[in-house]
Amino acid sequence: MDYVIQQVLNALSFGAEYALIALGLAIVFSIMGLVNFAHGEVIAFGGYSMIIVATLLTANPWVLMIGVLAFCVLASVVLERVAFRTVRRADLTTGLLTAFGVSIVLQNLFLLLGSPRPMAATQFIFLDQTLTLGNIRVSSLQIYETGATIIAIGLLMLFLRKTTLGVAMRAAALDFEMVRLCGIRANRVIAGAFAISGLLAGLACIFIMARRGSVAPHMGFDPVLTAFVACVIGGFGSLPGAVLGGFLLGITEVAVLVLLPQSYGGMAQAAVFTLVALILIWRPDGILSPALDKGDKI
């Protein structure tokens, strides 16, 4: 029984992490049709900002968390201004290649200015403790992660439904020109989307750092690749789809690890990507996304 609960929690926390990152990708995609592969480097930047703040200012973990969130939002908005504004009207492929380019530039900047080796940043590790509930032993980090993701999704939903900017962002996903005709500034909507995406990246960064305890130039690439897959499964640009896809992937990954013999552990990623290819061939627009509703929000 506790084994089952343990694995369910594993799947939930993996899923929560993927869902957080996938949401960050989906919110930008729904509005400007950009697959933002540089999202992973925003996460890595959050990790480096931890080191900077901790050396220059204070190593208090709560201040550091706020710092990480702020730096990720800043990085995301700056990237939009510097790199993605010029390709706003371009087609999907151009945007995708630009995002890959930005991602390579940032990775190498981290390499050049930081270090090619992982740098220790252990201030968040205290989040990861083993709790004993009855006779079940669970990691506190997994509970925080699942909880924080659910709260973040709830707040995001409130924001998108109750505020003007949120409503404008939902409308922009359907018909950007119409939103502009209604007198909403395009730049503000897009900057808003990138800011939210940065905030979600910051949240993901905190949990990733709590698990790894170190930051490396390439650490954002693999999580974003997986989150990208989650978006594809759920239907790109659909926020519920991103969340669903994230949790589905978490479950698949844990299932592959549990069900297949140990020696096939390395094949988890191959299994996940095979799944994606099959889903795309079966339903080219993703599971949750009948072509018309693509980009519809929560």
Partner 1 sequence: MNWSLNKSQRDGLIGSAVLSLIILALVGAYYIWGESYQARILYATFVNLLVVVGLQVFMGNANITSFSHSAFMGIAAYVAAICVTPAAMKAISLPLAPWGLNAFELSPIVSALLALGITGVLGLLTGLFIARLTGVGVTIVSIAILVIVHSIFLHRTDIFKGNQAFFGIPKIFDLPHITILVIVAIFVARLFRESALGVQLRACADDEVGARAMGVNVYRIRLIAWVVGTLFFATAGIAYAFFLGTISARPFYFNFVFLTVAMLILGGLRSVTGAVFGTLLITIGLEIVRWLETGPTLLSIKLPQMLGLSGLLLGVVIVAVMAFLPNGIMGNSEIEEVLKRKT
Binding of partner 1 by 132 (CB under 8 A): no
Which residues are within 8 A (CB) of 61 and not within 5 positions of it... i.e. 6 or more apart?
123, 124, 126
If the CB atoms of residues 95 and 166 are measured against partner 1, the closer one turns out to be 95
Least distance from C-beta 257 to partner 1, angstroms? 14
Q: Does 232 bind partner 1 (CB under 8 A)?
A: yes
Q: Which is nearer to partner 1, 141 or 254 (CB)?
A: 254
Mapped onto helix, strand or coil, the DSSP state of residue 42 is: helix
Residue the block writes with tokens 């013999």 = 261
Q: Is 98 in the site for partner 1 (CB under 8 A)?
A: yes
Question: DSSP states of 39-87 as a string?
Answer: HHHHHHHHHHHHHHHHHHT---HHHHHHHHHHHHHHHHHHHIIIIISTT
CB 248, CB 196: distance < 8 Å: no
**Which one of residues 120, 151, 158, 267 is an interface residue with partner 1 (CB under 8 A)?**
267
Of the two residues 45 and 124, which places its CB atom closer to partner 1 in the complex?
45
Smallest distance from the beta carbon of 256 to partner 1, in angstroms? 12
User: Residue 275 CB, nearest distance to partner 1 (Å)?
Assistant: 9
* Both tokens assigned to 74: 């800043």
Spell out where the chain has E strands: 119-120, 130-133, 136-139, 214-215
> Interface residues with partner 1 (CB under 8 A)?
35, 83, 86-87, 90, 92-94, 96-98, 100-112, 116, 217, 221, 225, 228, 232, 264, 266-267, 269-270, 273-274, 276-277, 280-281, 284
